[in-house]
Structure 1
């Protein structure tokens, strides 16, 4: 399955939830990084980590699809 097909395929419910969390983290990180006031270095570093973690979480969750192949049954 190509990456474009994976991105267009339906995403399982759990990964839709994770994708939403990741987008939220990325938004919080972006807001911290682009704040119009000077923030402490620790907070700015956390903002960068949030943005990166949220982007990765959202990207991985978007291309996760259910495996529709049926597993062969073992002989009893």
Structure 2
């Protein structure tokens, strides 16, 4: 199963929730990074980490699949 097929397969409910949480974290991190006011360095660093963690969580959750083909792994 290639990546495109895997991304299009239905997701388990748990991973749908995780994907949405990851998207929210990425949005919050992106908002903090692009804030029009000067923020302390610590807050900007946390915003960067939130954006990266949210992106990774969303991608990994999206690539899980409900249809596990064990024959395709071999």
SS in 1 for 2:65: coil
Task: Report how many residues are paired.
Answer: 70
Residues 30, 47 of structure 2: 8 Å contact kept: yes
Query: 4+ runs of 1 displaced by more than 6 Å?
Result: none
State the superposition RMSD in angstroms: 1.4
Task: Decide which structure has greater helix share.
Answer: 2
Q: Which residue in the other structure is 1:57 paired with?
A: 57
Give the alignment's TM-score, normalised by structure 2: 0.89
Question: How far 1:66 moved relative to its partner?
Answer: 2.2
In the aligned structure 2, how far is the partner of 1:51 from the partner of 1:63?
19
Structure 2's unaligned 5+ residue stretches are none
Taking the aligned partners of 1:68 and 1:54, their CA distance within structure 2 comes to 25
The structure whose Rg is larger is 1
Match of 1:44 in 2: 44
Distance (whole Å) between structure 1 residues aligned to residue 48 and residue 9 of structure 2: 30
Partner residue, 2:15? 15
